[in-house]
């Protein structure tokens, strides 16, 4: 069984998180009949920088790579690869 971590968020942050979580989900976009589907790769190819995939964890909205030698620029596009294996 996994051990629960202590919630270290401030009272303001906890209230803001609860407010965001209580909002109804956004409705899907209404696209016209002429809209065509395109793969994610075509969207990513239009970006100037490609996303970087690294092993890491996300804690309270902060990305922490597991490899300490990885350096990310501010506003980097990152795909965090996580594992359920805690061993």
Return mean pLDDT, the chain.
78
Phi–psi pair at 2, nearest 5 degrees: -80, 150
Q: How many domains does the chain have?
A: 1
Structure tokens at 83: 């594992």
Q: Helix (H, G, I), strand (E, B), or coil: what is residue 81? A: strand
Structure tokens at 61: 């909205």
Q: Is the residue at 73 inside a domain?
A: yes
pLDDT at residue 6 is higher than 50: yes
Q: What is the DSSP string of 27-78?
A: PPP---TT-----HHHHHHTSSS--EEEEEEEETTEEEESSTT----TT--E
Q: Is the residue at 27 inside a domain?
A: no
Q: Is the residue at 68 inside a domain?
A: yes
> 5-9, 28-32, 37-41, 79-83: which range is least confident on average?
79-83
């Amino acid at each position: 069984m996994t051990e629960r971590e202590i919630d270290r968020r401030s009272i303001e942050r906890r209230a803001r998180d609860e407010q965001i979580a209580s909002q109804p989900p956004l409705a899907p976009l209404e696209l016209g009949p002429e809209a065509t589907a395109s793969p994610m790769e075509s969207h990513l190819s239009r970006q100037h920088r490609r996303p970087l995939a690294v092993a890491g964890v996300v804690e309270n909205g902060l990305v922490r790579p597991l490899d300490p030698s990885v350096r990310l620029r501010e506003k980097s596009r990152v795909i965090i690869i996580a594992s359920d294996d805690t061993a």
